[in-house]
Amino acid sequence: MKLNARLCTLLLGIAVLNSGTTFSAENGGTIDLTVTNGTKHLKLPVVPAEEFRVFRTTDLSLPFTPAAPGTVTGYDWLQPAASGFEFFRVEVQPKSPVAVLNANLLSKIAYGSTPDDLDRLAQIGADAYIQEQLAPETIQETLEIDRVIPSTGDWQYVTTTGTASSGSLYVYLTQPGECYLDDVKLVRGAVAEVGANVISNGDFETGLTGWIVDPIYSNSVVVSTVQHAGASSLHIIGTDAGSSSGTSIRRANLSVTQGQVYTLSYWYKPVTGTRTPPLVVRLSGDGIRSTPGTLATKLADGTGNLADLTAWHALHAVQSKKQLQEVMLQWLENHFVTQQRKSRDYFDGRVPDDTEDAVATNLEFRELQHWRAALQNPNVTFLDLLTISAESPAMIIYLDTVNSRGNGSNIANENYAREVLELFTYGVDNGYDQNDITVLSRVWTGWSVRLVDHTNIFNPFAPQSTTLLPGATNLGRTDNLDGVWTFVYRPENHNNTTKILFPGRTVPTRFGAPYAGRNYEFRVGGSAGTNSNWQQVTATGTATSSTLYLYLSGAGDCFIDDIQIVPGTIPGGGTNAVRNGDFENGITGWTVSANLSGSRVQNQQVYSGSGALHLVSTSAGSSGSTSIRRADLGLVNGQPYTLSYWFKPGTNLNSTLTMRLSGDGINSTPGGGTNSIQEGYQVLAHLADQPFTQEFIAVKLCRLFVHDNFQVGYDFTDPNLSEEGKLVRACMNAWENNMPKGQIRKVLAVIFNSQLFRSQDGTMQKVKTPFEFVVSAVRALRAQMQDGTYTADTDGYGLVSPMNRMGRMRLFDREEPDGYAESGVPWISAGTLTERLRFAQALLLANGASGKNDAANSNTDPIRLLKAKLPTADWNNATAVANYFLSILYPSEGKANLDEYRQLAEWYLNTGDDGVSQNSFALLGNTTTAYDTRVRGMVAMLMTFPRFQEQ
């Protein structure tokens, strides 16, 4: 039902005195009007509404006038019956479109609203917010979670405040390794080093007294040569990864009061180098947990593991003002999905033991940071983002390109070729077939990874690192070497044939102008080249004969000029052994087989001089009897020679040129070599802006930002194209008509300005993914207080397990290449809903309460929030408190639609913990536990409703 009009007449009913007869409305359908026991009962329509207004008249020739108030509860209007005929009309006052749009923006281009965002958006307006979010580079923000502490190798101070969760303290490294530790202190309160230190001998002045050292740390010693203060410090030496009791250096039975605030502090120092050690100091139960160097430092150093990256990513989603950027980063991560675990498997044996997680995580982190950087560019295109994914070692490993070979008789792995079409660009069954996948798979052969020196991180031709790790000796094993794993190109694995993609294919008519009928065939590599210019081809090898063969792998033609074979390894660097290699003397000296008898030396297409060979083949050649050849080179077998020639594709070249010595000592086809890396980039550029890609990506973005009912396959020429189809088309137009093509911001702007996005059609039509659910739950109650603290917060780590339980959503670690679903069906079952509800409830539980583990280290304080936002007089007003939380949890809903929720919330506030007894909220002391419990319970209740699953 469309409710664009500010005031909408919906229905008309006639009540007949005391009879219960109902009549139908003249527009907008019917409503029930019943009269029983002297009461009129009007069933109000369940439509988006701020307010329902009831009008009456006794005679249709007279105007309607407001009915006497009656009683409205939910969708029921009741009034004592009067005598005589009455006609009723109900008017629906919709919620203000501005408020709806603001709510839509925060639920879609942000990870849900925060109380502060709602206030801010009401001030600056939707359009300003959209502009700002589309240009994240203009948003000034410095987040603590992004702070990288440049390590100097000197002593560093660390302090963390938290709530004591136990009396057991664990110290360990998450990887084998070592560092120094000194002056460990744990004091009551939020100020470091003020008050009694509950850790005796935390300064290691009396050796290891009081400390329990588990076996993997048995090499650790207290040393007097290095110390922060006093005479000694602890030199931690771990042979394996630590994690808790049994694999740590630890204290038991510390005299702490559980549930109270304590502050931990200590000093640490790397043993060698400046890299921050992967040190953890924490209480059992994680009430206080400290890892030096900040999350960002660990991730930048390459020591962070998957949990660190997930937490960091989630914290950005919770905290960052650049909300759209975070939404887009998650979308990119999920669209170009990779699996951290697959990289971990790959690195097993290739990196030092127990560092697989960190090395694999680093690939995911770098990929994410590349996208983040790209999104700062106002003109960033889909091709830019696609290219980052293609070059990401995580992707190269995930979809098996890493070992794919197409040289010789090797058959390339099709995995990436399939998914780049099916999932990353065109969409399934949209413009390609199996043959295209097979051909495309050859393009990616050679795209691989290698451990290189840090300075070579962006050099795809870099050799393997030769820097040994401390204590390592074997240069032949990558787990002995220092460096960084990065994308490299291995031309020796590449398939150098000509690849013809989408042969003869044209864009289907359903795409309409300007796309329909476009030929999108694409030739790349081998003898096809990518342009029709002359190109030089070189190959070095060892002479096996003095006979040179030229032939094509099938029918076709091409041009050849200036063939040289010289001693040594430098093209043209010596006396040419190929007489008349420049075809200045016609075909003299060359023997031409029958299948090449159409070949001519001509002067229209030459590289230099006045003659070049136009090689024309009717069928495949292979050697002496099917080639153009000469056998008088006079080479010395076993000696090195270099072949070079100039090559230009012909008009009908579907096959590959081979030029080789008999015996294959030198064997050359155009293409190959380091230049063949370009084939991949050229293919990406071709795929990125095809209408299939435009459509598929536009559909996915519309599903992300509007609702799930967008499909690939619209007939864009249909005059009755749906609103959804029209929006997809508008996105495609923005993609196609701006230069460069494929600018993401242009496409997003179309969506955000569309009526589908801005109206009720785009309101709460989608189900949150587990990630969106946990992040939005924290944000919903997160307001900044005057002292800079927040009324809701999380450490990020505590969101990992809940997301897993809500349907196995493991960020950066999806098994299947289709990414996590946007639609609700795969996420919502009885079991996963239970997990969602438990999370919301645990989130609202006070810290330390039983059941809190379901939302560990994620805390909310709705009482502090309401006291900051409501006047003191309302703190014990159940209606005011209920309305406030309804307004921040369900900001897009009209008051009338929330009426029954408000009643339920008030019932909750006014009912004892037994769920039965009346217990007035107004009479609760607003600093009591009972008040705290009542408010938390009510807010948790609202967040467990289906309504909060939607966005």
Partner 1 sequence: MKNFNILTRRDFLSHAGKLGIGSALASLVDIPLVAKRALAQTNALGLNGKKVLFIFLRGANDALNSVVPVQDPAYYTSRPNIAIPMDPGANYTATGLADFPVNTDPNAPTFSYPYAIRLGNGFSALHPSLKFLAPLYNSGDLALVHRVGYPRQSRSHFDSQIYWENGNPGNNVSKDGIFYRTILESGLANTAPLTGVSFQSSLPLLLRGSQAAMTNLSDPNRYSLLGIPNTTPGNAKADAAIKLGSGLPFPHKLSRDLLALQYQNMNSTMELFASLTANNGPLSTAGNTYVDDVNTDGDTSPYYLFPTTNARNGGHALHANNPAKYVVPTSAYGFIDDLRAAAVVLNKTDAIIAGTEIGGFDTHSNQGGVTGSHANLQRSIAWAMYALKKYFTNYSDKVDWNDVVVVTLSEFGRTTIENSDVGTDHAEAGVMFVAGGAVKGQNKGNPTGVFGGSPGDTVPWVPGATGSMFQASSRYLKRSIDFRSVLGKVIRDHLGATQQQLDRIIPGYTVPTEALKNGGLSTRDATQIMGEPNIV
Residue placing its CB nearer to partner 1 in the complex, 33 or 943:
943
Residue placing its CB nearer to partner 1 in the complex, 59 or 348:
348
Least Å distance between CB 862 and partner 1? 11
Which tokens sit at 578? 């190929």
What residue has token string 């430098």?
A: 570
Least Å distance between CB 340 and partner 1? 13
Least Å distance between CB 240 and partner 1? 17
The whole-angstrom distance between residue 854's C-alpha and the CA centroid of its chain comes to: 25
Least Å distance between CB 355 and partner 1? 19
The Cα–Cα gap between 428 and 634 comes to 56
Residue 567's DSSP bridge partners are 641
Least Å distance between CB 894 and partner 1? 9
The Cα–Cα gap between 809 and 803 comes to 5
Least Å distance between CB 902 and partner 1? 11
Residue placing its CB nearer to partner 1 in the complex, 192 or 940:
940
Residue placing its CB nearer to partner 1 in the complex, 736 or 761:
761
What DSSP string describes 700-751?
A: HHHHHHT-S---S---TT-TT--HHHHHHHHHHHHHHHSSSS-BHHHHHHHH
Residue placing its CB nearer to partner 1 in the complex, 289 or 814:
814
Residue placing its CB nearer to partner 1 in the complex, 172 or 346:
346
Least Å distance between CB 826 and partner 1? 5
Q: Is 88 helix (H, G, I), strand (E, B) or coil?
A: strand
Least Å distance between CB 893 and partner 1? 8
CA-CA distances (angstroms) from residue 586 to 444, 462, 589, 613?
40, 44, 9, 8
Residue type, 51: E
Residue placing its CB nearer to partner 1 in the complex, 473 or 850:
850
Least Å distance between CB 704 and partner 1? 14
Quickly list H helices, 823-949: 830-844, 862-869, 878-889, 895-909, 929-943, 946-949
Polymer length in residues for the chain? 951
Burial class (CB in 10 A: 0-12, 13-18, 19+), 225: exposed
Q: Of 263, 264, 202, 254, whose CA–CA distance to 233 is shortest?
A: 202
Residue placing its CB nearer to partner 1 in the complex, 787 or 914:
914
Least Å distance between CB 522 and partner 1? 24
Least Å distance between CB 586 and partner 1? 54
Helices 356-374 and 323-335: angle between axes, nearest 10 degrees: 120
Residue placing its CB nearer to partner 1 in the complex, 797 or 901:
901
- Provide φ and ψ at 947, rounded to 5°: -55, -35
SS (H, E, C) 383-424: HHHHHHHHHCHHHHHHCCCCCCCCCCCCCCCCHHHHHHHHHH
Residue placing its CB nearer to partner 1 in the complex, 37 or 140:
37
Least Å distance between CB 730 and partner 1? 21
DSSP 142: -
Residue placing its CB nearer to partner 1 in the complex, 256 or 792:
792
The Cα–Cα gap between 812 and 398 comes to 11
Residue placing its CB nearer to partner 1 in the complex, 627 or 892:
892
Q: Is 837 helix (H, G, I), strand (E, B) or coil?
A: helix
From the CA atom positions of the chain, what is the Rg in Å? 36
Least Å distance between CB 11 and partner 1? 16
The whole-angstrom distance between residue 227's C-alpha and the CA centroid of its chain comes to: 44
Q: Of 351, 671, 661, whose CA–CA distance to 491 is shortest?
A: 671
CA-CA distances (angstroms) from residue 763 to 550, 706, 756, 891, 911?
66, 8, 9, 10, 33
Residue placing its CB nearer to partner 1 in the complex, 542 or 933:
933
Contact 289, 170 (CB under 8 A): no
Least Å distance between CB 702 and partner 1? 13
Residue placing its CB nearer to partner 1 in the complex, 433 or 815:
815
Residue placing its CB nearer to partner 1 in the complex, 74 or 210:
74
- The CA-based diameter of the chain, rounded to the nearest angstrom, is 121
Least Å distance between CB 174 and partner 1? 21
Q: Left, alpha or beta for 574 (phi > 0: left; psi -120 to 50: alpha)? A: left
For residue 32, the tally of other CB atoms under 10 A from its CB is 11
Least Å distance between CB 929 and partner 1? 9
Residue placing its CB nearer to partner 1 in the complex, 291 or 949:
949
Residue placing its CB nearer to partner 1 in the complex, 250 or 805:
805
Residue placing its CB nearer to partner 1 in the complex, 434 or 575:
434
The Cα–Cα gap between 22 and 543 comes to 101
Least Å distance between CB 418 and partner 1? 7
- Enumerate residues 6+ apart whose C-beta is below 8 A from 82: 17
Return the sign of the alpha-carbon dihedral for residues 633, 637, 639, 645: positive
Least Å distance between CB 860 and partner 1? 11
DSSP 916: S
- The half-sphere exposure of 749 on its side-chain side, counting CA atoms within 13 A, is 17
CA-CA distances (angstroms) from residue 432 to 83, 513, 855?
73, 20, 46
Contact 716, 510 (CB under 8 A): yes
For residue 246, the tally of other CB atoms under 10 A from its CB is 12
